Amino acid sequence: MLWISSEGKWKGLSDLWKKNNETVFIFWFDETLRQAQEFISPEVTANIYFSTAREARSHVLENKPVIFAEHFPFKKREQELFQNLNLQEVKILSALDEPLFKRFGADKIIELMRKTGMNESESLEHPMISNAISNAQEKIEKKLITEQSAHSQADWIEKNLPA
């Protein structure tokens, strides 16, 4: 699911939780988890199951819907975790204003989406979007020699993909 902005994505996350409060939300980066907690009201956040990817365990996720709140820059890393957690289907929330997408010219797409009348609270889902994200992840994997860990997507890109 792709939104124009992170604000729209956080609203979407909240709406998805309201539809099924058993949903587990997983974050690759600590900073993204913090942003979600800040956006969503404290009384709701206390009841939402948030986890970082490094802390996620399959026995905790069993029989619950799992949603990732962001993409990791490597497709291979995502796929490995999905397999380790025995996830058959994965939904990932993304926003075009995230550093990963800005790296690949998201500003032009945001402008186009706004011109077509799309608002911040609407999301897009389409195989073409998933394929474009997958292709971007593969390009990143090919460029990287060694990976340095980071607490945010922006920090990860800065440390691992210098301009």
- The domain segmentation of the chain, as residue ranges, is 2-160
- Separation of alpha carbons 122 and 104, rounded Å: 21
- Of 124 and 33, which is predicted with more confidence? 33
**What pLDDT score does 42 carry?**
65
Q: Which residues contact 99 (CB under 8 A, 6 or more apart)?
A: 152, 153, 154, 156, 157
Question: Among 3.40.50.300, 3.40.50.720, 3.30.160.160, 3.30.565.10, what is the CATH number of 2-160?
Answer: 3.40.50.300
Overall pTM surpassing 0.75 (yes/no) = yes
Q: Mind listing the pLDDT tens digit for each residue in 72-87? A: 998 999 999 999 999 9
Q: Mind listing the pLDDT tens digit for each residue in 51-64? A: 999 999 999 898 89
- Separation of alpha carbons 70 and 78, rounded Å: 10
Query: What's the length of the chain?
Result: 163
- Separation of alpha carbons 53 and 82, rounded Å: 10
